[in-house]
Structure formats: C-alpha cells, structure tokens
Amino acid sequence: MNIRAQISMMFHLDKCIGCHTCSVSCKNIWTDRQGPEYMWWNNVETKPGTGYPTQWENQEQYQGGWKKPEGKEKIELPSTNKVKGLANIFHQPYLPTIDDYYEPWTYKYEDLFNAPASDDQPTAKPISLITGDEIDIKAGPNWDDDLGGSPIYASNDPNLEAISEQDRQTLFEIDRLFFFYLPIWCII
C-alpha cells in the first residue's frame, strides 16, 4: 500500500472537563439518519467506569486487542485468524449487540403539546426508535457518567480486576475528589 496522505487529530486530555460538547456535535453531524441512533462516533467516558458500550474494554468477552502467543515473535489478533476469518466472513461473533449499547429512544412530544389543561404537569413518554413502542429507559450512553451517583459502575470497570481490594478502595477515595475523563473516537 502506497500511502500518500494522512490525517492526525488529538484530544488534549488535560483540558477535557467532561462537558460532551465534542460528543454531541459529532453525534448531530454523523448519525442524523434512521438506523445509527445508538452509535456515538465520539464519546467521553468517566474513568473508572464501565464505558460505552457496556464493558467494551473486557477483552475476554469481545476478543479485542493484540496478543503475543508464547514462543512466537509476532503479535496476533485474538478474535481472528485465517480459519476464524473464513468461518465468520459475514459475521463477527464478538461484536457488542444492541443490548450492550442501549435501545435508542425519543419522546412522545405530542403529549406535551396536546395535553388538556390540568393541575398536573404533562410528561413526554419515551418511545423506542427501534420498535416504536413505549419503553422503560434502563441505560444509555454515558449512563455511568460521573458515576451516575453510584460507585457500582466504577467497581465494574474491567481494568480494575487485576488490582487488590485495598488498591481499589484507595482509588475510589481519590475518585471522590476528581474524575478522569477519557475522550474516545469511533465508538460504534
């Protein structure tokens, strides 16, 4: 391959304040058609946390990254080789499913505009963009952003499995003081 041009971009991690300006503007530009509503080409995650799609850094589940087999000089992709590639030519069995992302939704805004006058505030019910039915929202992108008020999301971070319980508790004490925001591109 004769590469004649390249493009380079970067996030300055020291300046990221987790405001999602980059996420929302990118979302509005690249996924404004029917079908890719669950996709976020750009996302800012709070670390520690499970991320988006949920547990995307879990290399055992998604078979991502590279591995160097013992006795070999070259690194390999664990999710594919010539045999696996041929067997799964039209299907990648380790990709996240819609359940790992979230069911995209909108709101039934006509309930707000057409509500009769009453003492109660009208509400807009969430509607699935996949089925068109009313749904109970269980998760979404950045559901654990700033831990969503719960340390449970941080404790489920797959990157923390290798550290001791005491080190985890120390990390969570530090995390009560500040967050580390990790901007990521190309999350689909």
How does pLDDT run across 19-55, given as a tens digit for each residue? 888 888 888 887 777 888 888 878 888 888 888 888 8
**The amino acid at 145:** D
Residue 147: per-residue pLDDT: 64
Structural domains in the chain (count): 3
pLDDT of 23: 83
Q: Which residue's entry shows tokens 């750009």?
A: 42
- 43 and 17 inside one domain: yes
| pTM > 0.75 | no
| Tokens 């909108």, residue located | 106
Q: Is there a single domain that holds both residue 186 and residue 146?
A: yes
Q: Average pLDDT in the 155-177 region?
A: 82
Assigned domain for 4 exists:
no
Quick check: is 71 in a domain? yes
Contact 158, 57 (CB under 8 A): yes
132-155 mean pLDDT: 78
Domain assignment of residue 132, yes or no: yes
Q: How confident is the model at residue 175 (pLDDT cuts 50, 70, 90)?
A: low
Examine residue 49 and state whether it is found in any structural domain, yes or no. yes
* Of residues 76 and 127, more confidently modeled: 127
Share above pLDDT 90 across residues of the chain, in percent, rounded to a whole number:
6
pLDDT band at 128 (very low <50, low <70, confident <90, very high): very high
Residue 129 has pLDDT above 80, yes or no: yes
Of 98-107, 128-137, 169-178, highest mean pLDDT: 128-137
The answer to whether residue 3 is domain-embedded is no
Min mean pLDDT across 12-26, 43-57, 111-125, 174-188 is at: 174-188
Closest CA to 49 of 113, 134, 139: 139
* Token representation of residue 115: 């509500």
Determine the pLDDT at residue 135. 93
What percentage of the chain exceeds 70 in pLDDT?
Answer: 90
What's the domain range around 76? 63-95
- In one-letter notation, the amino acid at residue 43 is N
Lookup result for tokens 């967050």: 179
Give percent helix, percent strand, percent coil of the chain, each to the nearest 5: 25, 15, 60
Do 129 and 164 lie in one domain? The reply is no
146 and 131, same structural domain? no
Check residue 127 and give its pLDDT: 93
89-105 average pLDDT score? 84
| Per-residue pLDDT at 134 | 94
